[in-house]
């Protein structure tokens, strides 16, 4: 492990752990899949907090989520501190939205339930690995 001085602070230049790179690549792949789904099904509107925006606003809202996936994926691959914070905020937002959708929208809720469980598990895992976001 090498150390370098920058502005009077010691910076540790550690390689990015493979698990963070893996999660980053998964986020980018998720963004690509989202883009494909949006363009393959232009009438689909993602439910957000139990409602769906119609028209161009709903379609543009659909595009926001893949952008977040791309940004977070990039940040995870390079272990950026901002990526961890963005991931936590985006995941909490997603869990809250999926929970409201679970309560307000009709079943089946299989995908929402799986999303909430996996999101909580990944959030806990990255919380345990938060010290590795050092850039």
Cis ω for the linkage preceding 108 (within 30 of 0): yes
Percent of the chain with pLDDT over 70: 90
Query: At residue 9, does pLDDT exceed 70?
Result: no
At residue 23, the pLDDT reads 94
Cβ 129 vs Cβ 101: under 8 Å:
no
pLDDT in tens, 82-130: 999 999 999 999 999 999 999 998 888 898 899 999 999 999 999 999 9
Mean per-residue pLDDT of the chain: 87
For residue 133, what pLDDT is reported?
A: 87
Note the residue count of the chain.
135
* Main-chain dihedrals φ then ψ at residue 33, nearest 5 degrees: -65, -40
Q: Pick 14 or 108 by higher pLDDT.
A: 108
Domain coordinates in residue numbering, the chain: 17-132
**Is residue 5 pLDDT above 70, yes or no?**
no
pLDDT at 1: 44
**Comparing C-alpha atoms, which of 109, 106, 99 is closest to residue 49?**
99
Q: How far is CA 7 from the centre of its chain?
A: 32
pLDDT at position 67, please?
95
47 neighbors 58 (Cβ within 8 angstroms): no
Nearest partner of 83 among 93, 97, 95, 69, judged by Cα = 69
CA distances from 60 to 34, 39, 42, 44, 71 (A): 13, 11, 11, 11, 17
């Amino acid at each position: 492990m090498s150390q370098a001085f920058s502005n009077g602070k010691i910076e540790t230049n550690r390689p990015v752990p493979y698990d963070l790179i893996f999660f980053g690549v998964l986020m980018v792949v998720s963004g690509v899949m989202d883009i494909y789904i949006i363009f393959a099904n232009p009438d689909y509107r993602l439910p957000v907090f139990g409602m769906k925006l119609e028209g161009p606003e709903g379609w543009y809202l659909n595009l926001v989520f893949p952008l977040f996936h791309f940004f977070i994926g990039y940040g995870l691959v390079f272990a950026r501190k901002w990526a961890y914070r963005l991931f936590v905020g985006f995941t909490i937002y997603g869990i809250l939205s999926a929970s409201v959708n679970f309560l307000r929208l009709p079943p089946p809720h299989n995908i929402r339930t799986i999303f909430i469980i996996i999101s909580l598990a990944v959030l806990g895992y990255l919380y345990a690995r938060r010290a590795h976001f050092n850039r």
